[in-house]
Each structure stands twice: as C-alpha cells, then as structure tokens.
A and B are shown apart, each in its own frame.
Chain A
Amino acid sequence: MVMYVLRRLLTAIPTLFVVVTLAFFLIRIAPGGPFNQERGLSPEIRANIEAQFGLDDPLWLQYVNYLNNLAHGNFGPSYNLPDFTVGELFATGLPISVQLGAMALTLALLVGGMLGIVAALKQNRWEDYAVIATATAGSTIPTFVIAPIIQLVFGLIWNLLPIGGWNDGAWPNKVGPVLTLALPQIAIVARLMRGSMIEALRAHHIRTARALGLSDWSVIVKHALRGAVLPIVSYAGPAAAALLTGSVIVETIFAIPGVGRYFVEAALNRDYTLVMGTVVVIAIFTIVFNLIVDILYAVVDPRVRYD
C-alpha cells in the first residue's frame, strides 16, 4: 500500500509538468495581455511595465524562469495585484475556500447520504418521491439563483444572517455560502446513494443476512451501506477537489475572499502568474483527492487490493 501511494505521488510529477506547460502556453495564445485596458498605454510605458515583470524576455526564457521559480515554491508576483505575490494571494484565500468547501462537502455527504438511504428504503413511496423531487430541484436550480434567494430571505426579510462579507470567518457569514455550495451536492449525493442502496439491498448477501434474521439496522448499516457507499466515494473525490478550491459564483455573490474567483478573474485579466497558480493548485487537489479515493476504495471494498 505504501509503495502504491509513493508510486502514485511520483507519477503526479510528470502529470503536473505537462499541466503547467500546457497552461503556460495556452494562456499566452489568448489575445491581449495583462496591461491592456480601457485606458491605453503608450508603447514606452507598456515596455517599462513589461520589463519590470520580465515579460520582455523571449517566451522560452520566461518559461524556463517560471519552472525554475516554481521548483523553488515561488509562484511569482500577480500582474494585476502587484501588491501581492501569487503565493500570498493563495495563503490568504485558500484556507477560506477550503474551510467553506469542507463544511459544504461534509454537510452534503451527511444530509445527502441520509436522504438517499431513506429514499431507497421507502422506494416508490411518498418519502422516496419527496427526496427525488427535492434532489431534482436541487441539482437544476443554479447557485446564482439560490445564493440571492438565501441573501434575500435570511438576510433582508428575516435579518438572521449578514448579506455578504467574510468578517474574519464569523460563523453567520459562513452559513449562506456553505448552504449554497452544499445544496446541489446534497441533491447529487442523495440520488447516487438512493440508486446504489437500492441495488445493494437486492444483493444476495443482503437477502441472506435478512434470512438469517439480522435486524434491519444491522443489515443496512453493516452490510448494505458498505457496498452502497462506493459510488459516493468515487464521486466525492473530484467533488472535493472542486469544492475545496472555491466557487467563483458563490464567492462573488457572498463577497467571500476565497480563491475560486481567481480561476475566472485571472484568466480574464491575463494575469499569467495567477492563472498558473490556480492551475497548479487545482491540479494538486485533483491528484491528491483521486489518490484518496483509490485508497478509500481499498479500505471500504475488500475486493480491492493494490499490492
């Protein structure tokens, strides 16, 4: 197992290298540059600014320099927010996104999982239909609709929560973003759980367990759930990578200083270094969570072995 993890981590290095290289050249194919804006700059002034950031070097040299800096853990300065380095922007923003994402994911797994189990056990009864209807609604209503509704209802009408802002992580400021992030996930997890639970309950070993007279509780939790949870685990890996790295919509609407917004803003601003930073962070999260999923598989499913 340890060897397996090590091997996986080692193969991640060439993957990261390819991702970084592709991203580096792709973003530069996009027309315009970090210093194009409504107010035009004279060629001399633009040259001064570009020289400051080494953007006047030939592209291959910029690439080599970037790789060299990256290997030393230096993501470089942000072009559009020169008061901060890309590293500093992630140091302040990433913990916030991770925190909100982790809370939303936990909530989604707990609530979605329970709803899914209830629906599976009460298949084709009103409880089931209620869960399916809610799940369908939850996954079809976009977050940019849910978020303003939460603001309106909880913030303006009932005055229970602030409308937006992070406020040093005070809990009332987290409720809206976490709910908005969690709702569509709850819907997906509930549907996955329902499907796999129904299937698991039909399995031979469950029928045997029932025939042996085990209690419902023991059958469901000890035997059915273990098999039923596998699709959730596969789903949760990439979902975690996406949730923990922030959401541009939720962060913009709730005025949360996370890193989700950088994925879009940096690309639009041609903030090359920030784009690269976000690509690297997402790539690392995706690699790590896929690895975690594979390890969990081995833990949950006795049929899976990596040695």
Chain B
Amino acid sequence: MVLKSLLRATVFASSLMMAGGVFVSPALSEVVYNRGNSADPESLDPHKTSTVYEAHILRDLFEGLVMQDQNADLIPGAAESWTVSDDGLVYTFKLRADAVWSDGSTVTADDFVYAFRRLEDPATGAEYASMLYVVKNGEEVNTGKMKPEELAVRAVDPTTFEVTLKAPTPYFLEMLTHQSSYPVNKASIEKLGADWIKPGNLVSNGAFTLAEFVPNDHIKLVKNPKFHDAANVKLDVVNYFPTEDRSTAIKRFEAGELDSNDDIPTEQLADLKAKFGDQLRIGPYLGTYYYAIKMDKAPWDNVELRNAVSMAIDRDFLAEKVWQNSMLPGYSMVPPGIEGYTPALASFAEESQIDREDKAKAILEKLGYTPEKPLKMEIRYNTSENHKNTAVAIQEQLKPLGIEVTMVNTDTKTHYGHLEQKGDFDVARAGWIADYKDPESFLGISRKASGNNYSNYNSAKFEELMDKAAADGGKPELRLKDMSEAERVLIDDVGQIPLLYYSYKNLVSPKLTGFDENVMDVHPSRFVSKQ
C-alpha cells in the first residue's frame, strides 16, 4: 500500500516535472496564454517604440485614454468619457475614478500631462513624437522651438485632462489608441531613470503587469489585480515568445507550445491551409505594398510612362503566385476597410490584363521604347525572399513590353537609408501599415513635406485637397470625400505604384476565444480567454 502510493506519487511528480520542463512552468490552476510574436520589442517604453510587435505587448501593459476592443473598435480606456468643443479643437477627457497604477497610486490627469510632454520633449528622443504634432505646439516643442511646458495639454483637476489641437483632427481619438500616447508613471521614471522599464520596476496601468523579460526568449506578463476591469480578465499569465523563425513557430504551434502566432512562412501557405484549416486565419489588414518611383527625374517625370509601367504589372499574378494569396491585388494607396471611405482605384483596375498590356505597349512604343530598344529600369528592394520574387515577376512581366529591369538588393537599413537620404533610384519597394484607422495615415506619406515621400511626389492639387480635408475636419463626411479626391489625383498622377494590400496571417488555437479578426490585427489579451 505504502509502496504503491509512493510509486504513484513518483509518477505524478515526474510527469509534473516533465510538463514543467516543456513549458514555462505554469501552476496547475493558472490560465496561461503562450503567444507567438514575430519579434521582440525594441523597448517597453511606450515613448520609444514604433512597431506592431511592441504594440501587442504595450496594449496589455498600459491603458491609454481610449483603447481598442477585440474588433479594433474604440472603447473608453483610462478616460471614461470625453467631450469635444464645437470648433473641434479642445478635447476634455474625464478620467475614471477607479483607474490606478499597478503600485496602487491613482492615475491622474497630471500623469497624462507628464506623458504627453515627455513624448514631445526632444531629450526623450521619441521616434513617434510626430503622432502628437496634431496637438498645439507639439511640433514646436519636439523641434526645440518651445519648452515642453508649452505643449497645449493641462490637468484641469486630478480627473480632467484637456488637450488643445492645432487644427480640427477627426482621427485624433483613433490616434490616441497608439502606444505613443499611453501614460507613463512619473514617480518611477524620476526615481529609477532608464531602469524604470525593467521587470520588477515597471509600474503600468493596464490589464497585465511585467513579470519577466529575457531578450530573445520570452516576456512574461501577469494579470494586474488592480486593473479596473480585472474581473473580466480571464488570463492569469501571458507569455510573449519572439518567433523570428517562422517555420519553428509553426512547429511550436503544432506541438502546443504556442497558442497563437502572428505570422506564417507564406511560401508554405497551401500546405498550412490544408493542415490547420480554420486555425489559420487570413484576412485584409490595413497595409499597402507599393513601389515608389523617382518622379523628379527623366524619364520617370513622364506621367504617361509611369502609368504604362503601373498598368503593365499583373497584380493578380503577384498576389496568387508570388504571395500565395497571402496578399491581395492593390490599385489604391489606401486599402479598403476604413468605414465611410472609398479608395480611388487606378483607372485600369477593371480592365483585363491583356488590354492593359496592349495599352502599355502602345504608350511605350509611342515614347520610343521597344524590346529591341528597351527602357532601362532599376528596382531596389530590401532583402526578403518575397520582395525578390515580386521584383523578378515584375521583371518578366515588363520585358516583352520593352522595359529591361535590373535589380538592386540591399539589407533593410541600407535600403531605407538610401531612400531617406534621397539617393538616386528608379523604382523602390516600400510598404505602409496604418497606425490608426484613417486614410490620412496612407495619404500623408505622399505629401511634399513627408520624410516618407520617397517618390518626391509634388502636386499642388494634391496638397490643396489634403489641406482642404484638414480644414473640413469638423465635417467627417466631407473630409473623407476630400481625401478620396486627393487620392484620385495621386493615383492618376501615378505618384506611387500601389501593388498589393497586406493581409493578417494568424494561427490561432481553437482553445482561444476573444482573438477576433479585424483590419488592424489588434488582439488585446484582456479580451482573450483560453479553455
């Protein structure tokens, strides 16, 4: 009897050890969500981050004035309500009384004043400081022309936070869902300096708090019992695993080591679909894959020529054959999926590829380019198997029309360094993912003054319509119409060559609920539960 129970105890203990050996040792009753995230965050300081990998984690750790739910719809966050002045310039946020930091102190309007100033303070060196350039004096503070104290934000009283904008900005609330406008804890930053984001130090106000961060290994978040909606948070632990090797991530998912992963090796898409069925979720994501075209130099300054190139590219082929349908053919800079906005598609979007090729050929012949006397075009792209295959496909498509494509492949830093320093090129690969659900996010990058305007697109008409849209900020419908017209101008000018719209590609275990699909690919862990 004694022997038997001893044996049983040993078996139990060793199986426990084995289970503990394979996963990040969960206690038996805990609900642990092992979440694959394509990369480690650069930083956990909301003011020093820019990528979606950080956004996933910070959304769990912090709570901004407003947040997104599992459908990426706007919901109240640290602010329970807000009002906007009639001129659309002054936003007054009423903070919830039960909003507290993980150290127990209350989240106050002063915390937001501090955070907004910190983002704009040049000494912070915030990559995303430009997000709050819409706030009055924001740009002036960030460029050192004014002091941080002059930023137009103030605490009316401990629970009332007021922001004054430079101009009416209807997407301001959407912008506030971005991590750059999350509050940070003044007391701990002042006390700990750069170490404030370390595990054990980090004071946050979201549904989870930081327990461990081992770079390239895992980030462990635990439920924050002080969070105002803690009663509805179903998970005890969220482990973020950086899954840089997509193939390994798939195997880890299959073996149950991961409950979800946010990317897949697209070249295996057909096999993965067969293997995982409903667990593989693919759908439209607010992002555009495009080629910038150097339009301030010959021969690319000719709109007809640019149009012929754009027209001749078979986007269906790119989407189906090169990207295995993990991307959709794209004919506009603003992808579909923004409510109330109609993207301006290229005029040839509805024509058959054969007609388009004939037309393009006629234009090229008229300009004196034939397969015997071809036009030379260089495509620059950053290292990636798919970017290469895309360029190679385009090279083949353009060849019979009398365009001889050569390719230059450089690593990502070299590529964007070259583009930003306005280096010479003909055509260059670029991509844009929305920071907030508004067409402005996609059209702003083609404005004359934007650092992302690699094409050097410069159109008075486009600028005028974009300015008009900004002025019409108080009238959302009119504003969207202005922007659609602006996009029409941009597309007809072939200021950029949109090629594809991005898709999200998630692997989600059937054990998870609340990991819902949306165009922003936003999945706050606080709404996720696991069986």
Contacts and interface: CB of A to CB of B under 8 A. Distances in A.
B431 to A, nearest CB: 6
Contacts of A257: 214-217
Interface in A67-94: 80-84, 89, 92-93
Interface in A12-54: 30-45, 48-49, 51-53
B458 interface: no
A76 to B, nearest CB: 13
B68 interface: no
A83 B242 CA distance: 16
Contact of A40 (B40, B245, B416): B416
A255 B42 contact: no
A31 B417 contact: yes
Nearest to A77: B194
B413 A268 contact: yes
Interface string B248-263: 1001101101000000
A261 B393 CA distance: 32
Contacts of A35: 127
B125 A52 contact: yes
B245 A170 contact: no
B218 to A, nearest CB: 7
A167 B411 contact: no
Contact of A36 (B23, B48, B413): B413
Interface string B211-222: 001111110000
B413 A32 contact: yes
A38 B248 CA distance: 25
A254 B248 contact: yes
A162 interface: yes
A162 B18 CA distance: 11
B92 interface: no
Contacts of B45: 82-83
Nearest to B36: A255
A269 B412 CA distance: 8
Interface in B129-154: 129-130, 142-144
Nearest to A51: B125
Interface stretch (A150-158, A195-203, A225-233, A298-306): A150-158
Contacts of A134: none
A92 B40 CA distance: 15
Nearest to A96: B217
A41 B130 CA distance: 9
A270 interface: yes
Contacts of A238: none
Nearest to A49: B125
B415 interface: yes
Contacts of A53: 125
Interface string B270-295: 00000000000000000000000000
Interface residues of B, number: 60
A217 interface: no
Given A38-B412, A253-B245, A171 B21 contact: yes
B247 interface: yes
B124 A48 contact: yes
A211 to B, nearest CB: 56
Q: Give the dominant DSSP class at A's interface.
A: loop
Given A32-B414, A257-B215, A83 B44 contact: yes
A252 B248 CA distance: 9
B245 A162 contact: no
A155 B45 CA distance: 36
A163 B213 CA distance: 21
Contacts of A159: 255
B1 interface: no
A164 B217 contact: no
Nearest to B143: A44
Interface string B386-426: 00000000000000000000000011111111111000000
A156 B257 CA distance: 11
B54 to A, nearest CB: 11
A148 interface: yes
B324 interface: no
Nearest to B382: A38
B24 interface: yes
B197 interface: yes
A93 B215 contact: yes
B43 interface: yes
Given A32-B417, A33-B417, A37-B416, A45 B142 contact: yes
Given A33-B413, A172-B22, A151 B127 contact: no
Interface in A211-243: none
A63 interface: no
Contacts of A37: 50, 412-413, 416
Contacts of B431: 38
A50 B417 CA distance: 14
A256 B218 CA distance: 10
Contacts of B214: 92, 166, 257
B198 interface: yes
A138 interface: no
Contacts of A168: 24
Given A163-B255, A256-B217, 13 more contacts: A32-B415, A32-B416, A51-B125, A81-B42, A82-B45, A83-B45, A151-B248, A156-B254, A162-B257, A163-B248, A255-B217, A261-B216, A268-B412
21 contacts: A33-B417, A37-B413, A40-B420, A44-B142, A45-B142, A48-B125, A48-B126, A48-B142, A82-B45, A83-B213, A148-B247, A162-B22, A163-B257, A164-B248, A164-B252, A167-B24, A251-B216, A252-B248, A255-B242, A255-B243, A268-B411
3 closest Cβ contacts across the A-B interface?
A32-B417, A32-B413, A257-B217
Interface of B: 20-24, 40, 42-45, 48, 50, 122-127, 129-130, 142-144, 197-198, 213-218, 241-245, 247-248, 251-252, 254-255, 257, 410-420, 430-431, 450-452, 454
Interface of A: 30-45, 48-49, 51-53, 80-84, 89, 92-93, 148, 151-152, 155-156, 159, 162-168, 170-173, 251-258, 261, 268-270
